[in-house]
Amino acid sequence: MARHLITSAIPYINGIKHLGNLVGSQLPADLFARYQRGRGNEVLFLCATDEHGTPAELAAAKAGKPVAEYCAEMWQVQSDIAEGFGLSFDHFGRSSSKANHRLTQHFAKKLDEAGLIREVSETQMYSKADGRFLPDRYIEGTCPNCGFDSARGDQCDNCTKQLDPVDLINPHSTISGSTDLEMRETKHLYLCQSKMKDQLEEWIDTREGWPVLTTSIAKKWLNDGDGLQDRGITRDLDWGIPVQRGDEPWPGMEGKVFYVWFDAPIEYIACGQEWVEAGKGDDWERWWRTDKGAEDVTYTQFMGKDNVPFHTLSFPATILGSGEPWKLVDYIKSFNYLNYDGGQFSTSRGRGVFMDQALQILPADYWRWWLLSHAPETSDSEFTWESFQSGVNKDLADVLGNFVSRVTKFCRSKFGEEVPAGGEMGAEEKALIEELTRRVRTYETNMDAIEVRKAATELRAIWAAGNEYLQAAAPWATFKEDPDKAAMQIRLALNLIRLYAILSAPFIPEASDKLLKAMQTQDATWPDDVAAAMSALPAGHGFTVPENLFSKITDDQRDDWQARFAGTRD
């Protein structure tokens, strides 16, 4: 049994996320976790909310609530939505947890002892109107690298270049909008990433098979311009993890907190501790410490491309710099962006479909299938209502749903609600099993490699193979001349429904569960032997006809939703 540690990039606490956020990390991570569990492997799948930094403070202020109260409420909202989408986290934690406080302060002490933290006196933006320093996302302006006019004080979302607030052109406060800013002196701690450049580059070079998107971004940050720069890890904020050396005060750092991008990745490990504290597990160290059993764990991270620099450089620098035997990531699956109907998703303009809205319109499986089968792996992709309608109607309703409906209803009408016996399989059935065997092995290869779109294409082809067989075999016609042969054909088709349920579970878990229940079996053993799987339901085994698996999206529904979620056009 293999062991897989899987983490999804942790979403910011400030509001409900859109479909692009979902397909960029949490959803493909869930796909992989469900697949590995289905193969009989041991999985620990962790995620959490990212609750510190300026996004939380700004969102809480806008909501008129204390930041701690706001974060607690939004954690519950995000947890409920994740459950609605069938995201099978073993634990969904919080970066504001006591465990993350302890661990972040522990790492800071270890890095300081290793000579990898230095104190810097520097000047930072200060807003007279707001009466405070403006780090990170409290400042927006024009990116000096690409000219994007909404770059943040920590990073440009357009070109992904790492920035400091002082780099921005025409900066303004995101709190008040004020441009009355001045530079004032303050002290901060810096992580000496430059000292670790060679070690990080050597480590990255040992990672096998990383996506080109991941390695290209990491290498660019390592070698672009002056190379890897030291990075501030503290901020002048009220909300966050207090700056301490372990459980000791840090002289001169009173009233400051750790930078959110320092503590947020550490939450992956802390989330494992929370998992144990919540009574869901009994040993987090065997997943996270190589001296406690994690040496045989395969650790995979999922994230959007904007998160890659911190996960390939800053977080590994923290882990490696500590000198302790922590588990490092083996594979980073990064994604490009999902755009929306000719533009971008926009919270401020109400443009696009957000996760809570999606679940109000249609069940999760509709969205899961389209998003994963159109995952933005090699380039940005685009959600359009026409494409969504086509994917649901042609793939889910016409191919999978139609097959299940025709087989079960025909069997009930001619043989009753149990698997008929029939005779021996013929050449057509053996040819189908051979094709399915090839396709299932290809499907496994794609899933093992986390080639999401290729896996979805192969799964659809597996569904289509059953439809093509059914159309050619035509048991409704065969029944008139040879009822015994028709019974054999339907017996095969009913077993094929069970096979579909097992193979489809990572993509559409709710429909998979319905199919297993309809086939009156909870035996979802992975089909290592496809031929054997085609006889798993013996003659006489009962079944029920499931309700319509998938309803088609009408043109009127499509047009209504397209208008409803158009928002304010750019």
Q: If you average pLDDT over residues 61-88, what whole number do you get?
A: 97
499 φ/ψ angles, rounded to the nearest 5 degrees = -60, -45
Interstrand relation of 234-235 and 244-245 (parallel, antiparallel or unpaired): unpaired
Residue 443 CB neighbour total at 10 angstroms: 21
Do the beta carbons of residue 184 and residue 307 sit within 8 Å? no
Examine the pLDDT at 233 and tell me if it is beyond 70: yes
Reduce the DSSP state of residue 184 to 3 states and report it. Answer: strand
Q: Is 116's pLDDT higher than 90?
A: yes
% of the chain at pLDDT higher than 90: 83
For range 361-388, the mean pLDDT: 97
Task: Tell me which of 404 and 123 has the higher pLDDT.
Answer: 404
pLDDT tier for residue 129 given thresholds of 50, 70 and 90: very high
Q: How confident is the model at residue 226 (pLDDT cuts 50, 70, 90)?
A: low
pLDDT for res 122: 86
Q: What percentage of the chain has pLDDT greater than the value 70? A: 99
Query: Tens digit of pLDDT for each residue in 336-364?
Result: 999 999 888 887 778 899 999 999 999 99
DSSP H or E segment with residue 71: helix 67-84
pLDDT at 358: 97
The strand order across the sheet containing 297-304 reads 91-94, 42-49, 3-8, 297-304, 331-335
Residues 104-113: what's their mean pLDDT? 98
b/e per residue 257-272 (b: at least 16 CB within 10 A): bbbbbbbbbbbbbbbb
8 Å CB contact between 287 and 267: no
159 is in an annotated binding site: yes
What are the pLDDT digits (tens) for 287-319? 999 999 999 999 999 999 999 999 999 999 999
Q: Calculate mean pLDDT across residues 73-95.
A: 98
* CA 504, 512, 88, 339 torsion-angle sign: positive
Q: Look at residue 570 in the predicted model and tell me its pLDDT.
A: 39
Q: Which of 39, 91, 103, 42 is nearest to 296 (CA)?
A: 42
Give the type of residue at 267.
Answer: E
Instruction: Give the per-residue pLDDT at 176.
Output: 87
Contacts of 135 (CB under 8 A, 6+ apart): 54, 124, 125, 153, 154, 165, 235, 236, 237
Q: What's the start-to-end Cα distance of the chain, in Å?
A: 51
DSSP 505-518: TTT-HHHHHHHHHH
In which band, very low, low, confident or very high, does the pLDDT at 125 lie, cut at 50, 70 and 90? Answer: confident
Instruction: Identify the pLDDT of residue 163.
Output: 85
Say what angle helices 315-322 and 260-277 make with each other, to 10 degrees.
Answer: 70
Our CA angle for 341, 342, 344, nearest 5°, is 80
pLDDT given at position 562: 95
Rounded CA separation 519/370 (Å) = 26
Under a CB-based contact definition with an 8 Å cutoff, are residues 235 and 186 in contact? no
Domains of the chain: 384-533 (1.10.730.10)
**DSSP secondary structure string for all residues of 195-230:** GGHHHHHHHHHT--S--HHHHHHHHHHHHSTT-SPP
State the pLDDT at residue 392.
98
Mean pLDDT along residues 405-427 = 96
Per-residue pLDDT reduced to its tens digit, 432-458: 999 999 999 999 999 999 999 999 999
Confidence of residue 225 (pLDDT cuts 50, 70, 90): low
Report the alpha-carbon distance of residue 165 to residue 139 in Å, rounded. 6
The answer on pLDDT for 121 being more than 60 is: yes
Q: What pLDDT score does 526 carry?
A: 98
Nearest to 33 by CA among 508, 506, 365: 506
**Which amino acid makes up residue 299?**
Y
Q: Does 134 have pLDDT greater than 90?
A: no
* CA nearest to 517, candidates 482, 547, 484: 547
Residue-level pLDDT at 267: 98
Which helix (DSSP H) or strand (DSSP E) does residue 111 occupy?
helix 98-113
Q: pTM for this structure?
A: 0.92
Number of H helices, E strands in the chain: 22, 18
**pLDDT classification of 464: cutoffs 50, 70, 90:** very high
Q: How far is CA 485 from the centre of its chain?
A: 46
Scanning the structure block, which residue is given the tokens 């302006």? Answer: 141
Tokens of 150: 């909404």
Which residues neighbour 73 within 8 Å (Cβ) at sequence distance 6 or greater? 65
For 128-162, list the strands marked E by DSSP: 132-133, 139-142, 151-152
Q: Which residues contact 76 (CB under 8 A, 6 or more apart)?
A: none
Predicted pLDDT of residue 275: 98
Mean pLDDT confidence for 38-50: 98
Residue 116, classed as helix, strand or coil, is: coil
Q: Is 146 annotated as a binding residue?
A: yes
The top-scoring range by mean pLDDT among 53-67, 394-408, 556-570 is 394-408
Q: Is 156 annotated as a binding residue?
A: yes
The answer for residues whose C-beta is within 8 angstroms of residue 83's C-beta and 6 or more apart is none
pLDDT band at 568 (very low <50, low <70, confident <90, very high): low
Contacts of 38 (CB under 8 A, 6+ apart): 502, 505, 506, 524, 526
Confidence of residue 569 (pLDDT cuts 50, 70, 90): very low
